[in-house]
Structure 1
Amino acid sequence: MKSAILTLLAIGLASCATPTPAAPTEKAPASTKVAKKAAAPKPKPYPLKTCLVTGDGLDDMDERVSVVHEGQTFEFCCKPCVKKFYKNPGKYVRALEKAKG
């Protein structure tokens, strides 16, 4: 009796299984091209040897930090200067433009 129940259970479970779909065999046409993303432009290098916030030499401090803002790299003597920069970035962008001449 047990074997008959197990046989019926096995047949019932087997009939519930769904067939695995076959993998597509068709290839994409050769003319199909994948569009590549344009590489982001490299940020402009920082041209000064001093921090725009303090005026101190960048190599005078151990905490030299750099950030990229609107495609321009800015370097600072320490992390607190980065916070001051982001409070009024326009001020320092103009200062950099003026310093570059």
Structure 2
Amino acid sequence: MEQLLNQLDQNLKELYRKAVDADALLDELAQQGQAKHQAIFPADSLFRVSSPRFLPYLSETAEQVASIRLTQQFNTATLELVVKQLQLLHKTLLEFRTALSR
């Protein structure tokens, strides 16, 4: 279980820097009158939170990992949700960076 939690933590660390950088770019775009979106992910996504920035989504996922670590218990559904959230964040951040580099 500890190895699994460490892998989840490693993913969160990787995503943190990318999310901070992406949010900074979104702030710059907003100051230029662009980036007028209301949320990164639609309301029916894997996340409860809704935000025009990436960090709140990452925070939600990190809270779930912390809860698993604290209780030392998890069910398969919770673990699957966390993994899917991490995958979606990785994918969306990559697509965002790719779109900006064009």
Give the TM-score normalised by the residue count of structure 1.
0.27
Q: Specify which structure has the higher proportion of strand.
A: 1
Give the TM-score normalised by the residue count of structure 2.
0.26
Q: Specify which structure has the higher proportion of helix.
A: 2
Higher CA-based Rg = 1
Bigger RCO of structures 1 and 2 (CA < 8 A, at least 6 apart): 2
